[in-house]
Structure 1
Amino acid sequence: MPEERGTPAGPVHVEGEVVATKRVGAYRHLTLSAPGIPERFRAGGFVAVTVAGHVARRALWIHRVRASSAFGPTLDVVVEVRGSGTAWLAAQPVGTRIAVTGPLGRPFALPKDAVSCLLVGEGYAAAPLFPLAERLRERGCAVSLVVSAPDEAHLLSALEARRSARSVTVLTADGSVGQRGGVADHVDDLVRRSDADVVYAAGPAAVLRSAAGAAERAGAWSQVAVECPTPCGTGLCHGCPLPVVGEDGVDRVVRACTEGPVVRGDRVRWDALIPPRDPA
């Protein structure tokens, strides 16, 4: 179903600059001037940024690109503070110079024909689904979008979603906005109601597994943007193992930052990727 993906050129390493920053709910949105990266961007790609005082870089999903602005082409990223590295990034003011490499990784593949697509995202990791929705609409695809989060503060761009898709479903685990529950509770019904030919998903591994499983049960294709720690982002360190089943049916481990982050949902060895829960 999907066509071959690709980027117009390889990644570049540039000195970027923070040109805008704002707090939105639980997240910090940064707009970066990074010459050469917006022009090469495809939905599902990411950037790796250097963080002061840290050896490992931080991988950030690209949420939006703007072809022109007062600063030239720019890209937007979403930061959720999870440790000292992301805390440093979130605290940087306008004017900060940051080393940026990108776009990196394999992006989403687009359908050859105008088909029905369901996009499922949770938390800040839903970021790559917004530019994907725009590309799919340009191709005449019917786009349904699901944005999910534990609570209202962790929903990403719920209002923007209504401009990006034919229909939007909002899910919160605490029921504060939209329907109560998580992706696993609703995804089979959402796949059925959208009559999806392709399901795209971005979020925690459990969300991706639920979306891929629902697609398989409905006879649809699925692509998932897997988020793994990527110390270098370029494949050199082999520090982002992703367990998959190859086209030949043989289990193997690939690099999430190069062979991924976007892969077919039915190719991921979810049991190997998601550790079992300890008994209560």
Structure 2
Amino acid sequence: MRYPPTSTALSTRLSPVATHPVSDTPLGSPSASRALWPSAVILDLFGTLVVAPSTSERNTATTRFASVMCVSPAVAESALTGSWSARHDGQLRSTAEVAAHLVARCDAPVSNVTALELLLKELARDRLRADAPLLQILEELRLRGLRLAVVSDASPDIAEAWSLCDLASYFDATVFSCQLGAVKPAPQLFGTALESLGIAPEKALYVGDGGGDELAGAERAGMRAVRVDRRGGPHGLAFGETSWTGSSIARVEALPSLLSMWRER
């Protein structure tokens, strides 16, 4: 989840789940284990593939927004908080529209729109930087024959920066909330990913840090879900987080071990 509104149920604390490298609930018979072997893995983005922003990082970004718009940090923070839905649920369709919307909310000079658009693009590129070990794991998953997809609550600046980031080439499909017009746990997000991959829900594994009630949403869509500890640590920003008692792993890098364990049962 990216820059969540402070007016929603905000959580920077992980629910009580296992934090050892691989944990799994009982699978039952060997035939059940084979049936659980996925054809595809669908992953959350923020907090799963890239770090969730901390409060400090958000404050730094807010200060930069304020400077560009020539307003106080408090005004900029209010604009960011109040515009979260518009930026993520499809009301705003481009980075330019996001910049214009924020400038208008701050009652800042229209002449600042271009500079704010450039800042949004810069920050988006920074937010999508991935660790080399993660990229190696994604490559390993692909070599195992798995199709990969991303489902993310994302604003247009992230969607536009995606094709330029190192992560993009590893994924067969991407579903961004700002393009679909819905945020997690809306079923159309998961359904669109499954349709894009051309697979049935029971053949897909969903992996995420749990923000936006995504894990339960994935299960309602018919997928198996696994939780990862939030990338960037337990103080990374998230909202709409619910308790989770299902399978969990410490990081996405533990996925191959989990999948191998399932296959061997």
TM-score (norm 2): 0.36
* Structure ID, larger Rg: 2
TM-score (norm 1): 0.35
Write 1 or 2 for the structure with the bigger share of strand: 1
